[in-house]
Structure 1
Amino acid sequence: MDQITAMKAFQTVVTAGGFSAAAKLLQVSHTVVSRQVAQLEALLGTQLLNRTTRRFALTEAGQTYHEYSTRILEQLEEAALAVTRHQVQPVGVLRINAPMSFGLQELAHWLPAFGAAYPGVKIDLVCNDRFVDLIEEGFDVGLRLAYVLSDSTLIIKRLATCEEWWVASPGYLQAHGTPRVPADLAQHNCLVYSLMQKANLPTFTGPDGAAHTVGITGSLQANSGIALRAAAMSGMGLAASPAFLVHQDVKRGDLVRVLADFRQRPLELYALYPQSRHLSPKVRAFVDFAASQYREPRW
């Protein structure tokens, strides 16, 4: 008797809920599965299942054996995967969730290169700014920009640090003046990101290490960084924006960075994915590719 095969048969009977269902999954006859479980019971010298014509129940010994055999079979599968995973090509649908602004402005720059490197992967990208439960909504991996992430059952990998810059159009600054210290913001029309906590009370750290907190007001608040960037470029006011979103605008001169000597707490870019004994090749490939994009600062 092959004990591992018999153990798999027993496990399949338990998880499938019966001998017939197990036989179908294992693609063998009902008789074969029944014989394998009976041989296993004979080898162990104890009854694992109480059988009737329509149902079965685990005995106390069967429950104990089920728990141990589950771990054994998982370890065998893990050992096989450890040997072969480097030979497995990433394939299948990869569902990615990302913040709207980051997905449209930043991720779009390098995601095509990932697709070209792994042609067997079909990408399903969903961008939004609401809370998303990656497991419940069936995502393989998520990208997050946050000051800190709360405790999670997910695996978290930090990819990069992103500063927030205060920016305005040259025309706005010409008309209203350039703030030199954080307190000056109180005299300006400040465009506020509504999803940020205490957005109307930004805190800065000055060159001397001193903290500066200022109350700000403005004629626009929005839950979209892209909308605030567009408003700032139109000359509407000053906006605090992640560097990834505006660094090219600043480079071109369409926006001007102000208060550069006064820093706010930076955002951190993370990749998150569900815990698994067997991280799929497509998720591993994506996370590694994303990390490679941020080994050197992009903004």
Structure 2
Amino acid sequence: MDRLQSMRVFAKVVEQGSFAGAATALEMSNAVVTRNVADLEAHLGTRLLNRTTRKLSLTETGQQYLERVRQILLDIDDADALVSATSKNPSGTLRIYCQPGFGQSQLAQLLPLYAKAVPEVVLDVTLADHNVDLVEEGYDVGIFIGLQKFDASMIARRLATSTVVLCASPDYIARRGAPATPADVARHDCLNFAFEQLRHHWPVQWENKSLNVPITSRMVSNNGAVLREAALAGMGIMIRSSFTLEDDFASGRLVQLLKGHHLGIVSVMMVYPSRRQMSGKLRSFVDFMSARFPRPESDPWLPAA
């Protein structure tokens, strides 16, 4: 027995004053309506309705039960309406995970625009380098970069591609000159990420070829912001994902070196649990980010050649 369905049928029978009237209102057969009420009475072990050939009337127990049933049905309808409204209208708290470099350089600028467009959504944003389990850790959506891992069952939408490029400040270039070929990098001071695979060589790529260029590190750090400050101060050549360099390139604080060469191309992925039954807040964020990055196969952050 579907008890909730039987309760709805019972309340409708009383409202309509007859089994036939309830059957018409609910678009059911008389037999189905009668069976639902009979099953409910059997489940409760008591009679709810007095039946005569001329009319129906509630028993004393039936009257008490009806009052509770009507309140239960109202509460359920209110809960359904609340969830339905939430799923359609963006509201509530949206928990976002993001890789720090993209979060600081790109997402931080985009979130105020999203918040203005969707004022009922509260943003809860976490920036972290470690891999996260979105579902287990309670995130609605995540922005993952490059080799960061996420559950294969997640929906993953590429927002854009980012190129890892070489750059330096105008001051450094004025003092030391700009490398004309990848091999020239070996004669320059380098600002290096603290990854073992980059400690002694940079894999510079061009025209589907790759060259492991030996380097001399002037500074090593696990923090991109520290390396950026050193590059701005003219300490050496830095490698960095293009999405972190957009403003520096536009302002001329940093200059891209060896255009056409790079150290890799990484994907910027937006990841979320499911397309089905997506909440309004998540759908609004997915649509917003997708509109901001209409060409997922391109790098929108590199200066025009």
Q: TM-score under structure 1 normalisation? A: 0.67
Identify the residue that residue 228 of structure 2 maps to in structure 1.
229
1:217 aligns with 2:216: yes
SS at match of 1:261: coil
Cα 1:95/1:151, change in 2 over 3 Å = closer
The alignment status of 1:248 with 2:243, answered yes or no, reads no
**Cα 1:210–1:120 shift into 2, 3 Å:** same
Q: Which amino acid aligns with 1:142?
A: G
CA shift for structure 1 position 86: 10
**Corresponding residue for residue 71 of structure 1:** none
2:280 aligned partner? 281
Residue in structure 2 matched with residue 204 of structure 1 by the alignment? 204
SS at match of 2:216: coil
Which segment is superposed worse, 147-156 or 166-175?
147-156
Q: CA deviation at 1:164?
A: 1.6
Give the residue type in structure 2 aligned to 1:269: V
The one-letter amino acid paired with 1:253 is G
Aligned partner of 1:258 in structure 2 is 257
Higher deviation after alignment, 110-119 or 143-152:
143-152
Which has the higher mean CA deviation after the structures are superposed, 170-179 or 228-237? 170-179
Aligned residue in 2 for 1:146: 146
CA distance in 1, matches of 2:95, 2:87: 23
Counting only pairs closer than 5 Å after superposition, residues 128-167 of structure 1 correspond to structure 2 as: 128-147=128-147, 149=149, 152-167=152-167
2:92 partner letter: G
Amino acid aligned to 1:202: W
CA distance in 2, matches of 1:150, 1:93: 22
Q: Cα–Cα, structure 1 residues 246 and 276, in superposed 2: closer, same or farther, change >3 Å?
A: closer
Secondary structure of 2:101's aligned partner? helix
CA contact (8 A) 2:203 2:211 kept: yes
Instruction: List gaps (5 residues or longer) in structure 2.
Output: 8-38, 44-79
Q: Is the 8 A contact 1:146 1:267 kept in 2?
A: yes
Report the Cα distance in structure 2 between the residues aligned to 1:289 and 1:265, rounded to whole angstroms: 27
Closer/same/farther in 2, CA of residues 176 and 3 from structure 1, 3 Å limit: same
Partners of 2:186 and 2:143 in 1: how far apart? Answer: 34
Following TM superposition, by how much is the alpha carbon of 1:146 offset from its aligned partner in structure 2, in angstroms?
A: 0.7
Aligned residue pair count: 230
Deviation at 1:167, TM superposition (A): 0.5
CA shift digits 1:103-138 (9 cap, x unpaired): 122112221111111111000111122232222221
Separation in 1, partners of 2:98, 2:87:
29
Which residue does 1:54 correspond to in 2? none
Matched AA of 1:236: M
| 3-state SS of 1:104 partner | helix
Aligned mates of 2:221, 2:263 — CA distance in 1: 20
Give the structure 2 partner of residue 272 of structure 1. Answer: 271
1:1-299 matches, within 5 Å, as: 5=5, 88-147=88-147, 149=149, 152-194=152-194, 198-200=197-199, 201-207=201-207, 209-275=208-274, 277-295=276-294, 298-299=300-301
Please tell me the root mean square deviation across aligned C-alpha atoms, in Å.
Answer: 3.1
1:274 is displaced (CA, Å) by 2.2
Q: 1:130 to 1:270 in 2, by over 3 A?
A: same
Question: What is the identity percentage for the equivalent residue pairs of Structure 1 and Structure 2?
Answer: 34
Q: Structure 1 residue 176: deviation in Å? A: 2.1
Higher mean C-alpha displacement, 197-206 vs 170-179:
197-206
**Distance in 2 separating the partners of 1:87 and 1:128:** 28
Matches of 1:85 and 1:155, distance apart in 2: 24
Contiguous gaps of at least 5 residues in structure 1:
8-34, 40-79
Distance 1:94 1:245 in 2: 24
Letter in 2 for 1:127: L
- Give secondary structure in 2 for the equivalent of 1:108: helix
After TM superposition, the runs of 4+ consecutive aligned structure 1 residues lying more than 3 A away are 1-7, 35-39, 84-87, 147-151
